[in-house]
Structure 1
Amino acid sequence: MQKIIYIYRIAVKLFSFAFFGLCSLGLALGLFPIMHVLAGFSEKKFKAIARRFNHWYFKVFVNVMKTIRCISVNVENKEQLSNIKSKVVIANHPSLLDVVILFSLIPNADCIVKGSLIENKFISLIVRNLYIPNTIPFDEQMERARQSMEEGNNLIIFPEGTRSRPGQPWEFKKGAARFALYSENDVVPIFFGGNEKIGLRKCDKLLQYHPTERYQYNLKVLPQISAAPYKGVPMTKSAIKLTEKMKMALEQELSNV
């Protein structure tokens, strides 16, 4: 029976990936042109409409995965995300689905994405139209992120820069702190806990899954970290200190698990 359940979970995982890819392609090709018309061909209005739509799309996708028992999601202090604006949202990054779950929780989300995703035919139109690729000069990334947060959007970024390696200590880059300091916006840390995400971790194989249970995502929204104390401090020094504070907040939660 356990083997049959494992095969089922692999099947629903593959279905989820296919569902997401095909729906993303169809929505981008079919609905983005309509959104441009509804926005009066205003780029700013189009992005606002598209981000709101993407939030509901990701929410539906997460609910589909929950319904077919691929994942479970529990969020502690979820109410703190309901009305956030102009924040830098950071999180540890254990799995491939982390950004999907964050987008389903945060309606006005922007993101720094891998430039290679522009080459992905299923989501390339979404990435090109809405988000900030990490292949453009960093100064341009910071300015685009600042402008986006001025419009009330929240910037989602993983300080590790990539998914965590199982069993390895976290290595936080200073980029997330620099975005917060440059825009003078506070940081909202979110801790991803739950069971081991076998099959969704870095370097895992596609046909892998947790051997005994579905993926469990237990998130906790932590207290905001203010950028104000670092105002006037040289960027190099303040980015190091803020990065240490962000890492400490998430590591402390990890130690409590």
Structure 2
Amino acid sequence: MIRRIKYLRRLISKLSSFAVFGISSLILATSLFPLFHVLAGFSEKRFNVISRKFVNHFFQFFVKYIEVTGAMRLSVENRELLKGIKGKVVIANHPSLLDVVILISLIPNANCIVKGSLVQNKFISLIIRNLYIPNTLPFDEQLERAKKSMLEDGNNLIIFPEGTRSKPGEPWYFKKGAARFALFANTDVVPIYFGGNEKIGLRKHDKMLQFHPTERYIYNLRVLPDISVAPYKDMPMSRSAILLTAKMKEVLEKEHDVH
């Protein structure tokens, strides 16, 4: 009986968190973004800086809200490696729906590649169009926008090499896109491993009313040493992207095997 009460409490916390996120995102897009444009003097560069910082703080609040309400516990090992990072490609395995929110809450100057379908989501479409890079754009345009964001604006590009959330119990398949972004911009890669328990209710194809049957969501993140792109610079892009992708997969799978 007690276990069932705890389960229902965590499920209610999850649903309320999604409601808070949706309502807050709508307010941000429709009310605060226009204000940020004014505060930035209608400078796109200043607007992006203000907006990214605000989204970072909002996501920090959102993650803390989920923790306080009892649906999640988050720990980050080697967090100091993220302090002051600029112009890096940040990669991670992708077990759940909350992964990108957690990463943006940890990285103030974050850009990311997002599903183009999110542009149709009325709660976050304006946020996506203003700050991030939809994967429906031509790939060459994605490369150029990401390179400019990293090298000129000092942002960090978050990208999940799998391209979508992992399927429980199945091997990871990494696409070459993350490697191509790093090689094109000539910037190193920061791997982050998402560990913890099974994210039932947040995985690919899970239903909204699902939740882990016995405990809250446990997110144990570990920031790993940078992967240098230097060994791959003098190779043809087709070969270097394959080798760098294999290296990224090796690093994250090794961490996965340990945990």
TM norm. shorter chain > 0.5:
yes
Amino acid at match of 1:152: G
Instruction: Detail structure 1 runs of 4+ shifted over 3 Å in the superposition.
Output: none
Report the equivalent of 2:211. Answer: 209
Give the match for residue 63 of structure 1.
Answer: 64
1:42 aligned partner, one-letter code: S
- C-alpha separation in 2, matches of 1:155 and 1:178: 12
Deviation per CA, 1:172-196: give whole Å up to 9, x if none.
0000000000000000000000000
1:47 maps to amino acid: N
Q: Does 1:168 align with 2:170?
A: yes
The equivalences for 1:146-157 within 5 A come to 146-150=147-151, 151-157=153-159
| Pairwise CA distance, 1:237 | 0.0
- Equivalent in the alignment of 1:241: 243
Counterpart of 2:193 in structure 1: which amino acid? F
Q: Secondary structure at the match of 1:29?
A: helix
Code of the aligned partner of 1:182:
F
1:1-257 map, 5 Å = 1-150=2-151, 151-257=153-259
Superposition deviation, residue 29 in structure 1 = 1.0
What whole-Å deviation, never above 9, does each CA across 1:167-226 have from its counterpart, x for those lacking one? 000000000000000000000000000000000000111111111000000000001001
Cα RMSD (Å) of the superposition?
Answer: 0.5
Instruction: Give, as a single letter, the amino acid of the residue that structure 2 aligns with 1:86.
Output: G
Q: Give unmatched runs, 5+ long, in structure 1.
A: none
In structure 2, distance between residues paired with 1:211 and 1:171:
28
1:228 offset after TM fit, Å? 1.3
Could you tell me which amino acid in structure 1 is paired with residue 48 of structure 2?
K
Percent identity, please. 67
Whole-Å Cα distance in 1 between the matches of residues 181 and 116 of structure 2?
18
CA deviations on 1:128-152 (whole Å, 9 max, x unpaired) are 1110000010000000000000110
Number of aligned residue pairs: give it: 257
Q: CA deviation at 1:8?
A: 1.1
SS across alignment from 1:46: helix
Determine the C-alpha separation between the residues in 2 that align with 1:155 and 1:218: 21
- Deviates most, 226-235 or 141-150: 226-235
Q: CA deviation at 1:56?
A: 0.4
Q: Give SS of 1:170's match.
A: coil
Rounded Cα–Cα distance in structure 2 between residues aligned with 1:53 and 1:9: 28
Distance in 2 (alpha carbons) for counterparts of 1:49 and 1:22: 20
Question: Normalized against structure 2, the TM-score is what?
Answer: 0.98
The secondary structure found in structure 1 opposite 2:12 is helix
Deviation per CA, 1:207-253: give whole Å up to 9, x if none. 11111000000000001001111112100000000000000000000
What is the alpha-carbon distance in structure 1 between the residues aligned to residue 216 and residue 88 of structure 2?
32
For residues 37 and 229 of structure 1, the distance between their equivalents in structure 2, rounded to whole angstroms, comes to 45
Residue 46 of structure 1: CA displacement? 0.5
